[in-house]
Amino acid sequence: MTKVLVTGGSGKLGRAVLRDLVEHGYEVLNIDQQALPEPICPSLRIDLANFGEVAAAVLGGVDERPGPFDAVVHLAAIPAPGLAANARTITNNVSASYNVFEACRLAGIKNVVFASSETVLGLPFDNPPPYVPVDENYFPRP
């Protein structure tokens, strides 16, 4: 069975990803600052901005949550402006992403899925996009 670690699985997209992975037979561990509101899979509450905590989880060294993992799906982030102070958002999101990718490198995990929100395109803010669906020709307005 393939073992997948998901960061940010307690969020809206994360819960859908966890459900899909579990339904398709993957062994899944969610790591997030927030607890899962429903018991989809085992979960570990960690601060993704803390490299030691991330590395321990990715390397499989957290008690009954052993690795190694075959893949990581990185979804964890403060997902939009205005949910936290700007400095906190950038510090959290950049350091969390670095920590996840560096821990994966150290663990030898080569299968990493990284998702970002539609806010990187400047959506869903005051001005709608000039056309939908947006494609590769759409100029981002972050």
24, 48 in Cβ contact below 8 A? Answer: no
Q: Assess if residue 38 is contained within a domain.
A: yes
Q: What is the reported pTM?
A: 0.85
Q: Assess if residue 142 is contained within a domain.
A: no
CA distance 34 to 56: 18
Q: Assess if residue 131 is contained within a domain.
A: no
- CATH number of the domain within which 21 lies: 3.40.50.720
pLDDT attached to residue 124 = 63
Q: Give the domain extent around 13.
A: 3-121
Coil vs helix vs strand at 107: helix
Q: Assess if residue 99 is contained within a domain.
A: yes
pLDDT attached to residue 72 = 97
Q: Which tens digits make up the pLDDT trace of 49-85? A: 999 999 999 998 788 777 789 999 999 999 888 899 9
109, 70 in Cβ contact below 8 A? Answer: yes
